[in-house]
Structure 1
Amino acid sequence: MGYVEKKKTTAPRATAKRASKPSGAINGQGLHQQEVMHRLRRVEGQIRGVLTMMEQDLPCDAIAQQLSAARKALDRAFYEMMACSLEMEIGEAASSKDIRVRIAEKARLLAKYA
């Protein structure tokens, strides 16, 4: 099967340290941020699962599969964050020239980190 049962831990969760959210409606950026943070928490859980698998000396192919899934999920979080950034830049730009300059900067970042 290759799946590991999730074990309950007594350690406090990272979610307990979250900053309180301002009251009122969530803007587009806040919604994107929440989605990216949710993805990152899932990746965090996947990594903990991989560590458990390694501690239990499970087969390398099963561990590799889970590492691949975690890597893809992390990549997806990165792309979601960059999409949000592009949307913000387009929304804040005053002119089409300004839009081109801002998008070119984001494209440079994508090329650098992707």
Structure 2
Amino acid sequence: MNYGDHIKNRLKRVEGQVRGVLSMIETNKECKDVVGQLTAIRSAVDKAIAVIVAENLATCIREELEQGKDADQIVQEAINLLVKSR
């Protein structure tokens, strides 16, 4: 699977946010501030997942259909992947 630079950049921002939260914890920042940043991280990761799935779903379905898989099974697997990510 080919992942574009925009996905890598999203994840690098998340990486920076995680380092920021670690720094906040080390300096004993307020709980509400730490939780707020963790919530932002979770949202950023959710968006990255959505972009990856959206951009690659058509390709994955096409490849699996070429391998003879049932279309209903492929759709169900995609749904399960999205549900699992939550």
* TM-score normalized with structure 1 length: 0.59
SS of equivalent to 1:77: helix
Greater RCO (Cα-Cα under 8 Å, separation 6 or more) = 2
Matched to 2:34, the amino acid is I
Q: 1:106 matched to which residue of 2?
A: 78
Q: Please state how far the C-alpha of 1:90 moved relative to its aligned partner.
A: 4.4
Note the residue ranges of structure 1 that are not aligned, 5 or more in a row: 1-28
Aligned residues of 1:50 and 1:63 also touching (Cα < 8 A)? yes
Q: Relative to total residues, which structure has the larger helix share, 1 or 2?
A: 2
C-alpha root-mean-square deviation of aligned residues, in Å?
A: 2.2
Q: Please state how far the C-alpha of 1:70 moved relative to its aligned partner.
A: 0.7
Q: Please state how far the C-alpha of 1:59 moved relative to its aligned partner.
A: 1.1
* TM-score normalized with structure 2 length: 0.75
Q: 2:14 matched to which residue of 1?
A: 43
Distance 1:57 1:37, change over 3 A: same
Q: How many residues align?
A: 83
Q: Please state how far the C-alpha of 1:109 moved relative to its aligned partner.
A: 1.6
Q: Please state how far the C-alpha of 1:40 moved relative to its aligned partner.
A: 0.9
